[in-house]
Structure 1
Amino acid sequence: MQDTLGNMRHGFVQIPGVRTHFVEAGWKHEKLAILLHGFPDFWFGWRHQIPFLCKHLHVIAIDQRGYNLTSKPKGVSRYHLDALVSDVKHLVESFGHEKCILVGHDWGGAVSWEFARQHPAMIEKLCVLNCPPVQLLMQEQFKNVHQLLSSYYIYLFQIPILPEFLLSKNGAVLLAKMLSSMIPGITRQEIKIYRKGLSVKGTIRSAINYYRSAFRQQVLAAISGNQSSEISIHVPTSVIWGFGDTALQPNFTLRFRNICKRRCSIHLVDAGHFVHQEKPSVVNDIMLRELIEG
């Protein structure tokens, strides 16, 4: 199926336990680039990057597990970080590649960090936008009161039923208002597309289950004494960070060079959390230098 936004092809791929929807652009003989969105988002969040990157790469932007047109397994445990990492591994293999360029924003960034930690041989280059590794986020909340207060929504999401009810109400109108306030210049038509994607039955509950699973995972690790403070990333890494992010403090970036054991470049951009949508030309130029020319 052809997409009205341009030369993008929609498709589905069956991986263990999940039928994944993706948008594809570029020539299949080029290097594979997988784009992972965050919350509250789906493949559409990469609409400014796909047409740019596909000139140089075989681009696959997916709806992550539980989002939009991808299937929605029931139960919090099905959204464990390891399951999300496994999805990416199977996707790379399904497209006939041994490795990929991995790009992730927000929750997609969290998955990308963990994928790089678990499967460094499957990554050629890593690019993360406005997201630390989950382990760092949990650690920072208890060291930095500003980050703890900024992460209040994580704790609200632990309440059963109520968060998904409120966020799903009236065609995800609350999320639409949030996106409108966080992404300067977003159009009414783009908000309409977001509301349609986020209103697909089960999407909001699945999205919130990411937070529930991660929170439980970290709590159980702390109780059992298996919580590791050591994180090592052994792939070339670039970080793009909108320093006006109100949810994630920019001081996270000070720790990235300690965990990245190979080249790590950090780019601070005058933008908010959705840096790739707010400043697409700036982000695209950085991606060109880091992922294609570098």
Structure 2
Amino acid sequence: MGLRRFALVAVWLVCATPAFAEAARLAQQGPEAGRSLVVEHQYADINGIRMHYVTHGAGEPILFLHGFPEYWGIWKKQIEDLGKDHQVIAPDMRGYNLSSKPAGVEPYHIEHLVADIRALADHLKIKQFTLVAQDWGALVGWSFVLRHPEYVRRFVTINITHPALFNRDLRENAEQQQASQYMLLFRSPEAESFIMADDYAFGRQGMIDAARQLGAQISAEDEAEMIAAWKQPGATTGGLNYYRAAEIGPPDGQGSQGGSNLVDGLAPWQLQVYLPVLFIHGEMDPYLLPSGQVGLEQYVHDLTFRRIPDADHSVTLEKPALVTQFLREFMLEN
């Protein structure tokens, strides 16, 4: 999420009436609004936390990682379709929804987030899987691929580039620095009050309504479940601690050159990726700019791009059928 969208949210809150908002919500739900996906809810005691996850279907495994401010349900459409012939697993990452929310910033360092994914795979006795991720989940996904490529058969990233390239742009690219100013806010002590203000208006209008404006069909049930996930005690701080632990963002004017610590400690050879990678890009995303993709082929040696001109940041919500189509095509080809 970025500061430009925050301004749009503020205008929406001033101008909209409850009646108008309700009418718009009902008009955009679509014919499948009342359908409910049936999944199996499980918990895994792993890596010092209790991780909640859902599973659906059987067959070759696919693991989905959500971003901020999300939860496992961001992948419902993909779970429903791909679960017809795959074992689909979607966790609430640490700090979110029904998973543990350790206190403090250090437990959200990338080494712990990566260890969670490895421990979940071991818990499920899965030796190799397709990894699909977006937003913060994709930063964790890249970090997992760089450290444990033996677990991953294929990797799908939505909008997020290789962390070494993201670091480069956060340090050197003025447009990406401007687009990422929100990261400094998210790392600040004021972040929680901002996210939770006006009954989570940030997520309601900045994410849910923004996605609906681009064609997303989000049912009342799914909207309520998403908001309930945000309101889980400690979940807002848990999600924000990803930003704080990674020290991610543009230069802060106080001595930091920008970037993150996500690839700290990795040797140059560890930054190379040889497994098949699919990059799905919503070209309207104002926060993750295409400049970060320049040079990606120097790190990824089996790379496929799929671009969606009329998608924004929340591609999984906005274009679920197209995302699923791209996933199926990529898995068939690789």
Please give the TM-score of this superposition, normalised by the length of structure 2: 0.80
The ranges of structure 1 where at least 4 consecutive aligned residues each deviate by more than 4 angstroms after the TM superposition are 216-224, 226-230
SS of 2:142 mapped into structure 1: helix
Give the Å deviation of 1:34: 0.7
- Is it true that 1:195 corresponds to 2:227 in the alignment? yes
- Taking the aligned partners of 1:188 and 1:58, their CA distance within structure 2 comes to 25
Q: Which amino acid is the alignment partner of residue 133 of structure 1? A: H
Is contact 1:253–1:266 with CA below 8 Å preserved after alignment? Answer: no
Residue-by-residue CA offset, 1:173-206 (whole Å, 9 max, x unaligned)? 3221111343123446133222111110100101
- Taking the aligned partners of 1:31 and 1:208, their CA distance within structure 2 comes to 33
Is contact 2:249–2:260 with CA below 8 Å preserved after alignment? Answer: no
Identity of aligned residues (%): 27
- Which 10-residue stretch deviates more, 49-58 or 172-181? 172-181
Q: Give the aligned partner of residue 207 of structure 1.
A: 239
Q: Give the aligned partner of residue 73 of structure 1.
A: 102
Q: Give the aligned partner of residue 207 of structure 2.
A: 179
- Taking the aligned partners of 1:49 and 1:24, their CA distance within structure 2 comes to 12
Indicate the structure whose relative CO is greater, using CA pairs within 8 Å and at least 6 residues apart.
2
SS of 1:127 mapped into structure 2: strand
Give the Å deviation of 1:151: 0.3
- Taking the aligned partners of 2:101 and 2:52, their CA distance within structure 1 comes to 11
1:278-293 equivalences under 5 Å are 278-293=318-333
Q: Give the aligned partner of residue 40 of structure 1.
A: 69
Q: Which amino acid is the alignment partner of residue 119 of structure 1? A: H
SS of 2:164 mapped into structure 1: helix
Residue in structure 1 matching 2:276, options 213, 230, 236: 236
Residue-by-residue CA offset, 1:120-161 (whole Å, 9 max, x unaligned)? 11111111111123332222022211100100111112212x
Q: Give the aligned partner of residue 138 of structure 2.
A: 109
Q: Which amino acid is the alignment partner of residue 87 of structure 1? A: D
Q: 1:99 to 1:126 in 2, by over 3 A?
A: same
Please give the TM-score of this superposition, normalised by the length of structure 1: 0.90
SS of 2:247 mapped into structure 1: helix
SS of 1:147 mapped into structure 2: helix
- Taking the aligned partners of 1:48 and 1:223, their CA distance within structure 2 comes to 32
Give the Å deviation of 1:229: 9.3
Q: Aligned residue pairs: how many?
A: 286
- Taking the aligned partners of 1:173 and 1:148, their CA distance within structure 2 comes to 25
Q: Which amino acid is the alignment partner of residue 202 of structure 1? A: G
Is contact 2:81–2:324 with CA below 8 Å preserved after alignment? Answer: yes
Aligned-residue CA RMSD in angstroms?
2.4
Q: Which amino acid is the alignment partner of residue 239 of structure 2? A: A
- Is it true that 1:267 corresponds to 2:306 in the alignment? yes
Residue-by-residue CA offset, 1:156-176 (whole Å, 9 max, x unaligned)? 12212x111221234423221
Q: 1:13 to 1:228 in 2, by over 3 A?
A: closer
Residue-by-residue CA offset, 1:15-38 (whole Å, 9 max, x unaligned)? 0211111111011xx222110000
Q: Give the aligned partner of residue 289 of structure 2.
A: 249
Q: Give the aligned partner of residue 8 of structure 2.
A: none
- Is it true that 1:167 corresponds to 2:212 in the alignment? no
Give the Å deviation of 1:5: 2.1
Larger Rg: 2
Residue-by-residue CA offset, 1:83-135 (whole Å, 9 max, x unaligned)? 11100000111101111111111111111111111011111111111112333
Q: Give the aligned partner of residue 125 of structure 1.
A: 154
Residue in structure 2 matching 1:53, options 82, 87, 90: 82
- Taking the aligned partners of 1:227 and 1:216, their CA distance within structure 2 comes to 16
SS of 1:183 mapped into structure 2: helix
Name structure 1 gaps, 5 residues minimum. Answer: none
Give the Å deviation of 1:221: 11
SS of 2:172 mapped into structure 1: coil
Is contact 2:167–2:258 with CA below 8 Å preserved after alignment? Answer: no
- Taking the aligned partners of 1:85 and 1:49, their CA distance within structure 2 comes to 23
